[in-house]
Amino acid sequence: MQLSTPHLLGIKDLPIADIDLILSTASHFKDVLQRPIKKVPSLRDTTIVNLFYENSTRTRISFELAEKRLSADTLNFSASGSSVSKGESLLDTVKNILSMKVDMVVMRHSSSGAPHFLAKHIPVAIVNAGDGINEHPTQALLDAFSIKEKCGTLEGKKVVLIGDIMHSRVALSNIYLLKKAGAEVMVAGPPTLIPIYIQEALDVRVEYNLKKALQWCDVANVLRIQLERQNEVLFSSLREYNLAYGISKKTLEALNKEIVILHPGPINRGVEIDSDVADSSHSIILQQVENGVAVRMAVLYLLSNAQNF
Ligand code: CP
């Protein structure tokens, strides 16, 4: 079985058959990762560069580990400390790296569409590791994998994305994926953090009342407040945000039902989520991180077989 695409740029145009193939392949790699010897030779003699033009902890380490588990050779590039500071363009940087016989590119960039631009100009597979406020496809895939693992299926599950929807590439990729997989999707948060067009454009429910959103859902994916992307004041204070939209143990106890809590990280403890929830049995945050390695192994492995430029 092969992916229908040479790159993973986003979930928006990814067929459900490709999503299912990635998730089932990830399940196989998750089994591999439980073994005493966690390494397979699948990408031996393949060289992958991780190009990070924006900060990352989870995604970057997860891709690097996935590459190492597949026996690929890995290179790590950070824009800070590179010749980007001397004015070198994205395309020149990548062309120079590829001339050293590099076979695949994993890229995070603060500009939406940067990997799509690159895909038009270079002849190797590109994996989008997060582009601006556009998409973060491997995060949505690992979130879906984690929900399936916990709940058995995505079909018919009620999933709410809570918080800073406006600036979240995780929200957009999750919405695309969950809807393709047959889940019901809601976005919840303050009106200033939810784009007004979202209900019509993406066919999702919108709820401004946190308690109603939590009463409705089976799964809540709590998003980070992205202060670094906010150019204007969108709520009065972090304390006020926490009072109205923060998820605490008290909030969950008032529901009289169990819900599963996800968060893509990094967490702002005491803002969108309190420690008594983040570290509780409701939370599958660290399982998400664990599953990220298997999901990224699946993506890299399948793209290495699908190179059809
Ligand atoms: N979830 C996520 O993308 O985290 P990082 O920014 O640490 O990679």
Determine the residue of 51, 53, 54, 59 to mutate for testing ligand 1's pocket, defined as the one with the most ligand atoms within 8 A of the Cβ atom: 59
What was the pLDDT predicted at 43? Answer: 98
The atom number, within ligand 1, closest to the CA of 136 reads 3
Q: Is 169 left (phi over 0), alpha (psi -120 to 50) or beta?
A: alpha
Does residue 110 line the site of ligand 1, with CB under 6 A? no
**CB-CB contact of 45 with 278 (8 Å):** no
Determine the residue of 57, 128, 284 to mutate for testing ligand 1's pocket, defined as the one with the most ligand atoms within 8 A of the Cβ atom: 57
Ligand 1 centroid–CA 246 distance in Å is 20
What single-letter DSSP state applies at residue 224? P
Determine the residue of 50, 51, 56, 65 to mutate for testing ligand 1's pocket, defined as the one with the most ligand atoms within 8 A of the Cβ atom: 56
Buried b (16+ CB within 10 A) or exposed e, 194-232: beeebeeeeebebbeebeebbebbbbbbbbbbbeeeeee
Does residue 264 line the site of ligand 1, with CB under 6 A? yes
Distance CA 75, CA 71 (A): 13
Ligand 1 centroid–CA 215 distance in Å is 28
Does residue 266 line the site of ligand 1, with CB under 6 A? yes
What was the pLDDT predicted at 235? Answer: 77
Distance CA 37, CA 19 (A): 27
Does residue 59 line the site of ligand 1, with CB under 6 A? yes
What was the pLDDT predicted at 306? Answer: 72
User: Could you give the domains of the chain?
Assistant: 16-136+290-304 (3.40.50.1370), 137-288 (3.40.50.1370)
**Ligand 1 atom 5, closest CA:** 56
Question: pLDDT of the chain along its 309 residues, tens only?
Answer: 899 999 999 999 999 999 999 999 999 999 999 999 999 999 999 999 999 999 999 999 999 999 999 999 999 999 999 999 999 999 999 999 999 999 999 999 999 999 999 999 999 999 999 999 999 999 999 999 999 999 999 999 999 999 999 999 999 999 999 999 999 999 999 999 999 999 999 999 999 999 999 999 999 999 998 777 666 667 778 999 999 999 999 999 999 899 999 999 999 999 999 999 999 999 999 999 999 999 999 999 999 987 555
Distance CA 75, CA 64 (A): 9
Three-state SS string over 87-137 comes to CCCHHHHHHHHHCCCCCEEEEEECCCCHHHHHHCCCCCEEEEEEECCCECH
Does residue 130 line the site of ligand 1, with CB under 6 A? yes
Ligand 1 centroid–CA 285 distance in Å is 12
Ligand 1 centroid–CA 266 distance in Å is 6
Residue 176, both tokens: 């695309």
Does residue 58 line the site of ligand 1, with CB under 6 A? yes
Distance CA 267, CA 78 (A): 23
Residue with token string 């919108």: 206
162: nearest Cα among 118, 213, 95, 123: 213
**CB-CB contact of 126 with 118 (8 Å):** yes
Residue 110, both tokens: 């603060």
